Structure 1
Amino acid sequence: MNANSTDAGVLVGIRPGTVPAAVSAGTRNSAAVDRLAFDSCVLAASTGAASGTPTALSLAAKLQESTDGQNGWTDLPGAAVEPLTAPNAVARMNVRLSTARRYVRVVETVALTGGTAPTLGASSLIVLCGPDEIPAP
Structure 2
Amino acid sequence: MNANSTDAGVLIAPRSGNVPAAVAAGTRNSAAVDRLGFDSCVLAAQTGAASGAPTTLTLAAKLQESADGATGWADIADAAIDPLTAANGIARINVRLPTAKRYLRVAETVSLTGGSSPTIGASSTIVLCGPDEIPAV
Q: What TM-score results when the alignment is normalised by the length of structure 1?
A: 0.96
Amino acid at match of 1:124: S
CA contact (8 A) 1:2 1:133 kept: no
Structure 1 stretches of 4+ moved >4 Å: none
In the alignment, structure 1 residue 30 sits paired with structure 2 residue 30: yes
Instruction: State the distance in 1 between where 2:90 and 2:3 align.
Output: 33
Q: Offset at 1:44?
A: 0.1
Instruction: State the distance in 1 between where 2:84 and 2:135 align.
Output: 34
- C-alpha root-mean-square deviation of aligned residues, in Å? 1.2
In the alignment, structure 1 residue 92 sits paired with structure 2 residue 92: yes
Instruction: State the distance in 1 between where 2:77 and 2:86 align.
Output: 25
CA contact (8 A) 1:35 1:102 kept: yes
* Residues 71 and 90 (structure 1), Cα distance of their counterparts in 2 relative to 1, 3 Å cut: same
Amino acid at match of 1:43: L
Q: What TM-score results when the alignment is normalised by the length of structure 2?
A: 0.96
Where structure 1 has 5 or more consecutive residues not aligned to the other structure, the ranges are: none
User: What SS does structure 2 have at the residue aligned with 1:134?
Assistant: coil
In the alignment, structure 1 residue 19 sits paired with structure 2 residue 5: no
Instruction: State the distance in 1 between where 2:40 and 2:28 align.
Output: 23
* Residues 136 and 118 (structure 1), Cα distance of their counterparts in 2 relative to 1, 3 Å cut: farther
Amino acid at match of 1:19: V
* Matched residues, number: 136
Instruction: State the distance in 2 between where 1:3 and 1:95 align.
Output: 25
Among all aligned residue pairs of Structure 1 and Structure 2, give the percentage whose two residues are the same amino acid: 71
Q: Offset at 1:135?
A: 3.4
Q: Offset at 1:3?
A: 4.0
Partner of 2:5: 4
